[in-house]
Structure 1
Amino acid sequence: MRMKSVLTGAITALSLMTAAVPAARAEDPVKVGVVIPLTGGFQSNGRQINAALKAFVATHGEKAGGKQVQFLVKDDGSVPDNALRISQELVTNDKVSILTGFGNTPTALSVAQLSKRAKIPQVIMVAATSSIMKASPYMLRTSWTIPQVASAIGKWAPENGAKKFVSVVSDYGPGKDAEEWFAKTIEANGGTVISKLKVPLANPDFAPFLQRAADEKPEALFVFVPTGAGAAFMKQFVERGLDKSGIKVIAMADVTDDDLLNSMGDPAIGVITGGPYSTNHDSPENKAFVEAFKKNNDGMRPNMVAAAAWDALDLIYKTLDKTKGEADGDTFVEAAKGMQIASPRGPISIDPDTRDIVQDIYMRKVERVGGELYNTEFKTYTAVKDPAAQ
């Protein structure tokens, strides 16, 4: 009820604002509201996004489409109600033309109706639940979808020595997507999921779920937890002795987050994951991206969230270049459809039918390279669309 009342108030205020404010002048800057979790449970995503923004502006400047671009960064604390309130303030008070960020699915969804009613482009940097794109025709996504990644893992696993799985996922939208699409794909390719375990999202204790999984005696665990929680999972995996049990971990990329991988140490070596990006992806674009990111962030290592944020900013700039600085919702979204970008992760594009990302998905293995741990890519599934949208 509270969410409904907040949204109703937001839409009412927005209607008044729209009637009262004259059209933007040609010399006005394009203001972009960046709504991200700098605190709270998803703060590691906010940290990577903020670092990517800093590096991108340092590299590309503050102009696109002949206009100055101003970024207004706001912390939503990982809370959907905060994201809605902040986004409303950005639209009504700060007169932003574009909203971006959104470090998880609930915050992205909380703003979708505002985006739809106000005709404000909402460029999703992280939120990965497939269905959110249906919530607003002004959404564009540059991150990934859970079904894109989970289905690639489901294809690879039964062909490569692991057919009998227990799935362990965080109990929220992306976790449910991961569980569903991994099971659906692996079963279509001759494998099976003998048990499906859901772990609470807040303050998870993986130990009892790992014990239950071990009791099932699978060949491998399929795992999805949000970026940042992978270190705790791997720590408890080792503490339960499962690293010596012969049970493999084949997981979504969040588990071996590039930003935290070195802190996981030797227990992470050999873990196989599927994902859209690795810090040591071999391309000129990625070499330049990693160099700029580290240079502007005290040597910090970028992860797939940073790559997605960088691509969101690149999409915004390239779209503004295409529209000559015009940022009204219909013009901007139409111009962004079909956009192709040479990303640090490889070629990406925006599907003109779904406004969602099309990209390569990689199978990776944690290895020690030059004294550091990296997710080394060894197989590529090219130009993957979201299978849930087909």
Structure 2
Amino acid sequence: MTSFRTLTLGTAMAAAALLPMAASADAKAYKVGLIASLSGPTASLGQQIERGARLYEQLHKTDLGDDTIELVVRDDTGPAPDVAKRLAQELVVRDHVDFLAGIIFTPNANAIAPIATQAKVPFVIMNAAASATTKASPYIVRVSQTIPQFTQPLAQWASKQVDIKTVYTLVSDYAPGIEAEEAFTAGFKGDGKSVVQSVRVPVQSPDFVPFLQKVKDAKPDALYVFLPGGTQSTALMKAYQSLGLKEAGIRLIGSGEVTVEDELPNMGDAALGVVTGFHYSTAHDSKANADFLKAWQAAYGADSTPTFMAVGGYDGMAAIHHAIKAMKGKGDGKAAVDAMSQWTAESPRGSVSIDPETRDIVQNIYIRRVEKVNGALRNVEFETFAAVKDPGKAK
């Protein structure tokens, strides 16, 4: 079986590229191959993306007239580029998907990019956030976020705080983490401002205690953190609390993954006062977000909480719907990418669009503080950087 796939992949993908995405008259069942991490330590992240995508389909299944969309979901198991690449190949060659989508981790997205290019299949990234990823294929459109996009505004905010002069950075040791470290360091500028030290921790299952003990010993004014999110965020918060960094006067700031909504109840009051920069909070005050939260809880239970991953899956399907409607049954992969490059929407996170030059998301970035609202922890927005493009593309 493996030998057969190896021998026939090139010709099968070339043939797939020649097929029109839809017949001009007949209704079509479009297939979206959604790849996410649905097992292992990051399973909660992949589940959020899948649920967000399915929720959009449930709410908008009649929007395409007689056309339909089938989600074909695959588990890449975590940061595993070889697995992600194999799954993308199978989805294109065997399942004949019209779109590839999903992806938590940047290395997985980069491994899939050549498949999308060769097969001329649009690839909608719903999370993977390293700035350079959209450059890996002209068929990539990203609806999620980039690391510099939310890190630089946070660094600029921190630069204005009189009580934050020195910062220690702690990031996951892979491309997005390194990019976050660089973006924060570049943005944290001003008289007397400095990043005193940086440390990188394992991507999977890190023990934060020895790293945070070194932070405590260094006595910075603040600790900046970037993590993939999920249960790691709670582990980080518990270590921050148990080692007494807050009592030592070391403020915790970071990317939105540090106080991701579905983990806040597990963090408890240790998370109070943590400031993050990000593009989505369940506390965002808008009708679109209120409607989204209501529909989410109706579908998945009153105790279920959507995160930015869910919004990535939800908006990714909105962009795919836009492309299908714009093409009106005619067009190929490039036409779909061109259509999505003109997509604008009122998302649960606020107004969004795609920058046609970079095929990357343009969106508001919010500075948020963890506060108690009606007895529950929430990321409450208190400052907005409007319509932010990815600053990493300027490099």
TM-score by length of 2: 0.93
Where structure 1 has 5 or more consecutive residues not aligned to the other structure, the ranges are: none
Q: Which amino acid aligns with 1:12?
A: G
The answer as to 2:10 corresponding to 1:12 is yes
SS of structure 1 residue aligned to 2:359: coil
Equivalent residue number for residue 55 of structure 1: 55
Aligned CA distance change for structure 1 residues 10 and 302 (closer, same or farther; 3 Å): farther
Q: Which amino acid aligns with 1:82?
A: V
Asked if residue 337 in structure 1 is aligned to residue 318 in structure 2, the reply is no
Can you list the C-alpha shifts for 1:304-353, whole angstroms capped at 9, x where unaligned?
Answer: 11111111111111121111144621110111113211110000100000
Residue 148 of structure 1: aligned partner:
149
- Given the superposition, is the C-alpha separation of residues 211 and 289 from structure 1 closer, same or farther in structure 2, using an over 3 Å criterion? same
Task: Please list the CA deviations of residues 267-290 of structure 1 after superposition, one character each: whole Å capped at 9, or x if unmatched.
Answer: 001111110000010000000011
2:352 aligns with one of 344, 348, 353:
348
Match of 1:37 in 2: 37
Amino acid at match of 2:72: L
The structure 2 residue matched to 1:289, chosen from 267, 288, 292, is 292
Range with bigger deviation, 245-254 or 9-18: 9-18
**Quick check: 2:9–2:93 contact (8 Å CA) kept in 1?**
no
Distance in 2 of aligned mates of 1:366 and 1:380: 16
Aligned residue for 2:97?
Answer: 96
Identify the range of structure 1 (295-304 vs 281-290) with the bigger mean alpha-carbon deviation.
295-304
Decide whether the 8 Å contact of 1:102 with 1:127 is kept in 2.
yes
Q: Secondary structure at the match of 1:64?
A: coil
Query: 2:331, 2:69 → 1: CA distance?
Result: 11
For 1:363, the equivalent position in structure 2 comes to 367
2:51/2:313 contact within 8 Å kept:
no
* Aligned 8 A contact 1:98 1:327 in 2: no
Unaligned runs of 5+ in 2: none
Distance 1:15 1:121 in 2: 13
Change (3 A) 1:20 1:98: closer
Report the residue type matching 1:106 in the other structure. P
Tell me the residue number matched to 2:133. 132
- Residue deviations 1:129-150 (CA, integer Å, cap 9, x gap): 1111110000000110000111
1:123 has 2:132 as partner:
no
1:19, 1:217 → 2: CA distance?
Answer: 57
Alignment check: 8 A CA contact 1:66 1:325 kept: no
Residues 42-76 of structure 1, C-alpha deviations (whole Å, 9 max, x = no match): 21211101221232122111652751111111111
Cα deviations across residues 8-61 of structure 1 (Å, max 9, x unaligned)?
768525346438978754433111111111112321211101221232122111
Equivalents in 1 of 2:51, 2:93: separation in Å?
27
Q: How many residues align?
A: 386
1:152-198 deviations in Å (ceiling 9; x for gaps): 11100021231210000010011001000000011268621010111
Distance change >3 Å, CA 183–CA 21, structure 1 → 2: closer
SS of residue in 2 equivalent to 1:241: coil
CA contact (8 A) 1:280 1:375 kept: yes
User: In the alignment, which residue of structure 2 is the partner of 1:170?
Assistant: 172
Which of 274, 279, 285 is residue 276 of structure 1 equivalent to? Answer: 279
1:216 paired residue number: 218
Query: In the alignment, is the contact (CA less than 8 A) between 1:10 and 1:114 conserved in 2?
Result: no
Aligned amino acid, residue 232 of structure 1: A
Equivalent residue letter for 2:227: V
Q: Distance in 2 between matches of 1:202 and 1:367?
A: 29
In structure 1, distance between residues paired with 2:190 and 2:8: 45
For the 8 Å contact 1:32–1:70, the answer to whether it is kept is yes
The letter for the 2-side match of 1:381 is F
Q: 1:30, 1:327 within 8 Å by CA — same for their partners in 2?
A: no
Q: 1:7 to 1:368 in 2, by over 3 A?
A: farther
**Partners of 2:128 and 2:141 in 1: CA distance:** 11
Equivalent AA in structure 1 for residue 167 of structure 2: F
| Cα distance in structure 2, aligned partners of 1:314 and 1:174 | 25
Distance 1:16 1:365 in 2: 50
Deviates more, 1:335-344 or 1:108-117: 335-344
Range that drifts further, 8-17 or 200-209: 8-17
> What is aligned with 1:198?
200
CA distance in 2, matches of 1:69, 1:298: 24
1:76-107 alpha-carbon deviations (Å, 9 max, x no partner): 11222221111111111111110100111111
